[in-house]
Each structure stands twice: as C-alpha cells, then as structure tokens.
Amino acid sequence: MPPAVQESARSAWVTALTPCVEDEPQQTRVLHWNGRTWLDVTGPVDGLWASAVTGDGKGTVGVSGG
C-alpha cells in the first residue's frame, strides 16, 4: 500500500508511482483528495521513492523517502 494520510473526510494525501513504461523510469506522484476528486499536486520529488507522507491539517504536505 502506498504511503497515505487522512486529515478529514475532505482532505487526504497519498503518494503513487506512475505506471511502468518501457525505457522510462517510474516517477513519484503526490495526490490530494479534496472531498470530491483526486488532484495531482506533485512538487519537487524527482527521483524520490516515497516511504512516508504527512499533512499539517492546513494544506501543507511533507513527503520523505529514498
């Protein structure tokens, strides 16, 4: 299961990897649930394999990994 954190019914964060495509490396994506839809809010996480995600309850998310 990918790293995830739920702050409320209208705020959840999850990390995911892009699908495997020949000759292209997978990339980490950060997604946010706003109560209606998932939004891709990926920031500067190039090359990061996420192992944890945390939210501060105010709209800020932290992602860590190797």
Give the position of tokens 């990994």: 65
Give the position of tokens 């999850």: 14
Q: Are the C-beta atoms of residues 6 and 53 closer than 8 Å to each other? A: no
Q: Are the C-beta atoms of residues 31 and 12 closer than 8 Å to each other? A: no
Its pTM stands at 0.75
Q: Are the C-beta atoms of residues 13 and 2 closer than 8 Å to each other? A: no
Read off φ and ψ for residue 22, nearest 5 degrees.
-50, 130
- H/E stretch holding 7 reads strand 4-8
Q: List per-residue pLDDT tens for the chain, 66 residues long.
A: 678 888 888 988 888 888 888 888 888 888 889 999 999 988 777 777 777 888 777 777 777 777
